[in-house]
Structure 1
Amino acid sequence: MTATHTRPRAGATASAVGDVLALVLLPVPLVAAVVAGAFTGGGSRRWFGGRGESRRAEAQAAKDAAAAAFYELDSAQRDLRISIETITAVDSSAGARRAVEGFEALGRRIDEVSHRYIAAVDAHDLDRDDLEPAVASRARDELNRAEGELAGVKAELDRFGEGLRPLLDTAESQLARLAPAVERARAALLAASNALDSVRSSGMRADSLAARLAALAPELTMLNQGAGRHGVPETLHRADRVLRDAEAVRTEAERLPERAAEIDRRLVSLRTRAEALTTRAGSVEPVLSELRRRFSAACWQDLQPVPEQASLGVRQAVEKLREAAEAREEQRWPDATALLGTVRALLNSTDEAVSAAGDRLQRLNAVAKDPQREIDRTRFALRDAQRLAMAGRHTPDPRHAGPLDDAVARLDRAVAALEGRHPDYWQFLTENEAVRADAARVVERIREERGAAGV
């Protein structure tokens, strides 16, 4: 918005200066005559006395007030335009679009009152020598009215600006994050590149890490193009993504020497374990022979496949070890790690199968020598559960007593089965374990119920 304010005419000023010089050059009697003539109607200006000058002053004061209101409104509109531009740079929501529409509507209203103000200023030359008092009054009224309209629109603009505060706060917050986020992303990329260079200088290829870092180059290009091209929200998301991915590359690159050393240690350890398990697998057959000789078929029949399973498991583990070593030499670190995990699983399952035969023989020997020890252990578990079921009661809860009575009956049947010529000691052991498990479940149920009841 602009306004034209009239100034005294240059010609009038020059004329006044000439008049003064002429008076100075005249003889003293003539100067006195000219001055006297000016006060007796000899001059060209019409004077209206104090009343006319008072109205001219009032009009000038109204003009000054309107000019101040005009400039205040113009400044407020400029500030609010910056706020709107800040919001639209970050926010494309419906709320932001409504803010733009509201600002444009206010702009049209501002243009209207500004045009009326400028027209009022241009319509009246308050510096004219022959300004009529009525004209001065009319100018004062029009300028006062313009000043009121300008102040009113300024108030509307201020209220509109207050309503934008939540949107503006959010936009300013995002803009404040923008530069640091982009700088952090660039720094992370540089750190990842330096870490990768350091690792590769030690003889490691790190091809997969190099490929991941190269894939971030287009992202860096778009970051460098700036938010003006790609938008603030998208640039912030891109910066966060680049930062996260670059830090992951840097971390893995820095850990690569340690990872290689760990793979080397695991290769040695698992190779040693595989050799030891090969030796142990050879002892399974003698154990099975003793089981067959001393115990009924039910005690060892499920262990018959163990020797073959152990031999196969060891062979597979050794083959996977060879593949893992090859992957390590080729620096295929993920493949080497995965293969070593497979080797460990194979050795674990083979170890369990080999150990099962020895453990079976040991347990069967113990129960054949003294079955009463197993019986006492089971009866103790049952009595403990029965005491808990009766605590604070005259009669047990049927939900607890029923399973315990069944468990006692199972134990009695297992003990009776030992009286045969070739008792199935393995069945006896498994039944005892099942009875103790039933008792433990009853105990757990009782404690849960009493805990829920606050007992």
Structure 2
Amino acid sequence: MTATPGTPATRTYPPSTARVRGGSSALRDTLTLMSLPLLAALALPAAFAGGGTRRWFGGRAESQRAEAQAAKDAAATAFYELDTAQRELSISVETITAVDDSPAARRVASDFAALGLRIDEVSQRYIQAVDAHDLDRDDLEASAASRARSELTAAKDELLRTRQELDRFGSSLAPLLGKAETQLARVAPAVERARQALLAASNALDAAREKGLRADDLAGRLAALSPELTKLNQGAGQHGVQQTLERAERVQREAGAIRAEAERLPALAAETDHRLVSLRTRAQALTTRAGQVDPVLSELRRRFAAACWQDLQQVPEQAAQNVRQAELKLREAQSAREAQRWPDATSLLSTVRALLNTTDEAVSAAGERLTRLNAVQKDPQAEIERTRFAIRDAQRLAMSGRTAPDPRHAAPLDEAVGRLERAVATLQGRHPDYWHFLTETDAVRRAAAGVVARIREERGGGR
């Protein structure tokens, strides 16, 4: 075919050639499509390797990384358990030192402080080991991971050993801790008992006031306990366990005493009134009896030697003086009772009683002297036989079960015999000193009784 104007010339190809070219193009397209999965597979690892992610297949390095991470986790657990144990044990140590200030307790505090320094050291080494190794690095080498595992394992082992030391120390605290906990358990009940005692004392004072009894001194003593109650309320944490227990016991004891005295006030008032009346009556009676001493002395002077009555010469005057003094003290006691100064009233009444007792004894002594002198003057032999019987009784006991008496017993008994003989000899003459004779026989009987008591004591003790 020839070209015509306006029409491009075309090249004529044989039909077979066109088919061959068309078949080659189709083959190339097919091969291209078949090669796409292989290229994609080769390209995927490169695509996922970017963006900071780890490689899927690390080999030995990844195994070492896992072992290092396990060592790190184990060390972290040991660190946490040691820290927890230390904090728990610190409570026990604080309990002991709060209660006990003995050398043993002070040693516990110092030992725990030293152990705390040891814990700080091993904890610091653990932290340094953790900070020294970044197990999340993408380029972590197997040697670095192995080194991290070794150091972290060593840190863990040291933490565990220190924990064992801490446990042993804690076990050694059992006796002191038990004692401290027992004392701590006593604090709250002791403080409560003190509070209740103060309340009871206050109520007792109110009851006494309702009966017209002022009890000012008791109220002052109760008010003085207020600062102590404040300290009890502040607690053992501020003032110490032992001090708090002692304070609570002291407050309870003092408040109990105040309560008892307040409750006794009505009875004390009644008793004071009764004693005032009784002692006043007794003083009046002694005044009458003292007036009877002069006739007794007159008879003694008339019938017996001066040595028998000379020591009684001052009895009438002394009796009158004592009674006057007693009456003065009674008036003072009455004033103290009206002012409700109970201790003063009680003290004054005791003085009155002592004065009247002394007077009573002196007045009675004059009459008893005359009675005894009359008896021995009438029958001195009765006194002699009574004394000899006491000596013989002691001698029989000294010889009981023995062939010869113990010199310690024989000597005083021999002396008693001689003393009695000398006393009997004084009865010779016109005006014998009967009173001297009676005092001598009394002394001889006391000596014999002393030997008897000593023998019985020695034999009772197996000597």
**What TM-score bracket applies, with the shorter chain setting the length?**
0.7 to 0.9
Q: Could you report, residue by residue, the CA deviation over 1:364-410 in whole angstroms, capped at 9, with x for unpaired residues?
A: 22222322222221222233233334444555555555544444444
2:397 to 388, 391, 398: 388
Taking structure 1 as reference, are residues 234 and 411 closer, same or farther at Cα in structure 2, changes over 3 Å only? closer
Q: Give the deviation of 1:328 after TM superposition.
A: 0.9
User: Given that residues 46 and 130 in structure 1 are in contact (C-alpha distance below 8 angstroms), is that contact kept between their aligned partners in structure 2?
Assistant: no
Matched, 1:421 2:430: yes
Task: For 1:312, give the aligned amino acid.
Answer: Q
Matched, 1:289 2:264: no
Alpha-carbon distance between aligned partners in 2 of 1:205 and 1:31, rounded to the nearest angstrom: 117
Listed as ranges, the matches of 1:292-303 within 5 Å are 292-303=301-312
Taking structure 1 as reference, are residues 143 and 414 closer, same or farther at Cα in structure 2, changes over 3 Å only? closer
Alpha-carbon distance between aligned partners in 2 of 1:384 and 1:201, rounded to the nearest angstrom: 66
Alpha-carbon distance between aligned partners in 2 of 1:211 and 1:103, rounded to the nearest angstrom: 48
Tell me which moved more, 330-339 or 387-396.
387-396
User: Given that residues 73 and 154 in structure 1 are in contact (C-alpha distance below 8 angstroms), is that contact kept between their aligned partners in structure 2?
Assistant: yes
- Residue 329 of structure 1 corresponds to 338
Q: Could you report, residue by residue, the CA deviation over 1:47-84 in whole angstroms, capped at 9, with x for unpaired residues?
A: 43765554443233222212211211121122123233
Coordinate RMSD, CA, aligned: 3.2
Alpha-carbon distance between aligned partners in 2 of 1:165 and 1:361, rounded to the nearest angstrom: 80
User: Given that residues 37 and 43 in structure 1 are in contact (C-alpha distance below 8 angstroms), is that contact kept between their aligned partners in structure 2?
Assistant: no
Alpha-carbon distance between aligned partners in 1 of 2:96 and 2:406, rounded to the nearest angstrom: 71
Provide the secondary structure at the position in 1 that maps to 2:396: helix
- Residue 15 of structure 1 corresponds to none
Matched, 1:60 2:69: yes
Alpha-carbon distance between aligned partners in 1 of 2:194 and 2:232, rounded to the nearest angstrom: 9
TM-score (norm. length: structure 2): 0.80
Unmatched runs of 5 consecutive residues or more in structure 1? 1-28
Q: Give the deviation of 1:418 after TM superposition.
A: 3.6
1:318 to 327, 331, 337: 327
Matched, 1:188 2:188: no
Task: For 1:332, give the aligned amino acid.
Answer: R
- Residue 275 of structure 2 corresponds to 266
- Residue 74 of structure 1 corresponds to 83
User: Given that residues 69 and 151 in structure 1 are in contact (C-alpha distance below 8 angstroms), is that contact kept between their aligned partners in structure 2?
Assistant: yes
Listed as ranges, the matches of 1:214-225 within 5 Å are 214-225=223-234
Task: For 2:450, give the aligned amino acid.
Answer: R
Taking structure 1 as reference, are residues 376 and 72 closer, same or farther at Cα in structure 2, changes over 3 Å only? same
Count of aligned positions: 426
Tell me which moved more, 111-120 or 32-41.
32-41
Taking structure 1 as reference, are residues 266 and 117 closer, same or farther at Cα in structure 2, changes over 3 Å only? same
Matched, 1:158 2:167: yes
Task: For 1:277, give the aligned amino acid.
Answer: L
Taking structure 1 as reference, are residues 33 and 321 closer, same or farther at Cα in structure 2, changes over 3 Å only? farther
Higher-Rg structure is: 2
Unmatched runs of 5 consecutive residues or more in structure 2? 1-33
Provide the secondary structure at the position in 2 that maps to 1:367: helix
Q: Give the deviation of 1:345 after TM superposition.
A: 0.8
Q: Percent of aligned pairs with the same residue? A: 73
Taking structure 1 as reference, are residues 55 and 31 closer, same or farther at Cα in structure 2, changes over 3 Å only? farther
Alpha-carbon distance between aligned partners in 1 of 2:413 and 2:310, rounded to the nearest angstrom: 32
Alpha-carbon distance between aligned partners in 2 of 1:241 and 1:417, rounded to the nearest angstrom: 66
- Residue 382 of structure 2 corresponds to 373
Taking structure 1 as reference, are residues 133 and 438 closer, same or farther at Cα in structure 2, changes over 3 Å only? closer
Q: Give the deviation of 1:115 after TM superposition.
A: 3.7
TM-score (norm. length: structure 1): 0.81
- Residue 8 of structure 2 corresponds to none
2:243 to 208, 230, 234: 234
